[in-house]
Amino acid sequence: MRKVQNTSIFDFHGRPSLAKALPLSLQHVLAMIAGVITPPIIIAGVVGATPQEKLLLIQIAVLASGVCTLFHLYGVWKFGARLPAIFGVGFAYVPTLIAVGAQFGIEGILGAQLIGGITMMVVGYFIQYIRHLFPPVVAGTVVLVIGLSLYDIAVRYMAGSGNVNAPDFGEPLNWIVGLATLATVLAASQFGRGVIKLSAIIVGIVVGYLLSLALGMVSFDAVAAADWVAMPRFMPFALEFHTSAIIAMVIICVINSVQTIGDLSATTVGGMNRELKTTELTGGLLGNGLTTTASAFFGALPTSTFSQNVGIVAMTKVISRFVLALAGGFMLLAGFSPKFGALMTTIPYPVLGGATVTVFGMITMTGIKLLIKDELSARNMTIVGLALALSLGIAEVPAAIERFPEWLQNVIGGAPIVVAAITAFVLNLLLPHVTLADEACEREAMAREDAGDTDRDTLGEAGRDQRRRAGRDGAQAATNGVQGG
């Protein structure tokens, strides 16, 4: 019998038509591209890279993101998550990379990154034995903070730039474009049908981009200057190993592993309506460690999951590997063709902000969905509440830790996810496991004790009344006896 081909976009192994998959794939590319190119741009400025070195860092970051995504979609042996997730050069490492790069240059970054990637693989191997230490209350807290910590990025983008010191930051024109993009995304996702509904983000980006063109907000100078084809080189930079740089990088790589747990959990819960399997988690961490290690030899920065793309999966429920593989293919093409990558970077920040703010909201709701999978006991609410208070509080008041060692400031100061992960993890280990049933039993015992105390008080009061009456009667009898005598 002829085998019927699976074309569902809501099945991981589904292979829809190119016409249906293409727009769904492009919105993943457009959502991630700013996050991919921003870290190498920042680090190039920190290390004093030449214009050619800067273009190289951007190109290899885009290429590494495509390779990493395809690697995790299909996997090799035990490496790779084999989940509908986008991986690439991660923004979470930037504070640590800035600190290391300012002192030891790009060579020091890549050398420390090599050791950090190996550490990730070690964590990935042992995660199967310690997975029970990351229950929904811990993973859900991390995902929730990931979503909450991304809001300022979306708002900055809508205001015109990721840098608040940019000359046009906060201009009303930027907000007009950002809000128009957001309105289009909402209209397409809530009132659209079929592919339009599922491709709401790219529909919003197209409308915002056309509006930006009409307003003269798009520049094609970078496209004209970029080469058509460029091949990556092995070891374009030397690797240097410095103890302090390695320590800082190992810490952030371990913390990023916790974020990966959160993102992969959010992918399966939000997009596939099931818990994350241990094999998927192990493969994801092992694969991320391997790609981070290999990237160091080609000049690409460390890799991680992309939370904004997790939000797209959770919002659309589109989990077809073919759709995400197309996104990885586009990134590969952009990596080999700097001109193609430069074209994608012409999308103005307000358009990206307006298109992704709803995605970040979906990540937050996925974190809440993870949390309520576990019971909301007083213990669990304490864990979540303290993790949120400390992580977001320190992020809002960075001066509160300015007297800490510089490496510690770089690890926890710029990433609330780090503080949230550590807080939730430690509290989950230290606080007694008291369930809602235990709390109910405790209240009942207290109620019985209170009732017993009340009964004893009542009996005591009755006894005292009886003794007082007896005393009065005795006194009266004595008085009557005296009078009779």
Phi, psi of 171 (to 5 degrees): -60, 140
Distance, CA of 412 to CA of 220 (rounded, Å): 38
Instruction: Give the position of tokens 């747990």.
Output: 261
Distance, CA of 196 to CA of 202 (rounded, Å): 9
Number of neighbours of residue 438 by Cβ within 10 angstroms: 14
Kind and range of the H or E run holding 302: none
Distance, CA of 21 to CA of 288 (rounded, Å): 26
Distance, CA of 356 to CA of 171 (rounded, Å): 19
pLDDT at 1: 47
At residue 443's C-alpha, the angle toward residues 442 and 445, to 5°, is: 65
- Flag whether 387 is in a domain: yes
Phi-psi label, residue 49: left if phi above 0, alpha if psi -120 to 50, beta otherwise: beta
- First-last CA distance in the chain: 125
Q: Tokens standing for 335? A: 């990596």
What SS3 state is found at 208?
A: helix
pLDDT at 463: 60
Residues 6+ apart with CB under 8 A from 41: 54, 57, 58
pLDDT at 39: 82
The H-assigned helical ranges of 317-371 are 321-336, 338-344, 349-371
Instruction: Give the position of tokens 């992580």.
Output: 391
- Flag whether 301 is in a domain: yes
- Flag whether 10 is in a domain: no
Q: Are 107 and 271 in contact (CB under 8 A)?
A: no
Distance, CA of 335 to CA of 337 (rounded, Å): 5
Phi, psi of 35 (to 5 degrees): -70, -25
Q: Tokens standing for 66? A: 């495509």
Question: What domain range includes position 222?
Answer: 18-434
- Flag whether 475 is in a domain: no
pLDDT at 288: 93
Kind and range of the H or E run holding 304: strand 303-305
Q: What is the pLDDT along the chain (485 residues), one digit of tens a residue?
A: 455 678 889 999 999 999 889 988 988 887 787 678 778 877 887 788 887 788 788 889 999 999 999 999 999 999 999 999 999 887 767 767 877 888 889 999 999 999 999 999 998 888 888 878 878 888 788 878 877 877 887 888 899 876 677 788 889 999 999 999 999 989 988 888 877 777 788 788 889 999 999 998 888 887 887 788 888 888 899 999 988 788 878 877 887 787 788 889 888 988 888 888 989 999 999 999 999 999 999 999 998 888 778 888 888 889 999 999 999 999 888 888 878 767 777 888 898 888 878 877 877 887 888 788 788 888 999 999 999 999 888 888 888 888 887 767 766 765 677 788 889 989 999 998 888 888 788 888 888 877 776 666 665 665 666 666 666 665 565 555 545 54
Partners of 304 in the β-ladder = 88
Q: Are 27 and 199 in contact (CB under 8 A)?
A: yes
At residue 392's C-alpha, the angle toward residues 388 and 394, to 5°, is: 120
Q: Tell me, what DSSP letter sits at residue 4? A: P
pLDDT at 485: 47
pLDDT at 225: 78
pLDDT at 229: 85
Closest CA to 395 of 418, 362, 376: 418
Instruction: Give the position of tokens 């890549």.
Output: 110
At residue 213's C-alpha, the angle toward residues 209 and 218, to 5°, is: 90
- Flag whether 149 is in a domain: yes
Distance, CA of 141 to CA of 416 (rounded, Å): 11
Distance, CA of 259 to CA of 271 (rounded, Å): 17
Number of domains in the chain: 1
- Single pTM value for the model: 0.71
Q: Tokens standing for 68? A: 């990493």
Closest CA to 352 of 467, 185, 168: 185
Closest CA to 292 of 53, 68, 33: 68
Determine the longest span between alpha carbons in the chain, in angstroms.
132
- Flag whether 328 is in a domain: yes
Distance, CA of 161 to CA of 353 (rounded, Å): 9
Q: How far is CA 471 from CA 246, 259, 460, in A?
A: 86, 77, 16
- Flag whether 357 is in a domain: yes
- Flag whether 257 is in a domain: yes
Number of neighbours of residue 242 by Cβ within 10 angstroms: 16
Partners of 323 in the β-ladder = none
Distance, CA of 292 to CA of 247 (rounded, Å): 16
Distance, CA of 183 to CA of 397 (rounded, Å): 32
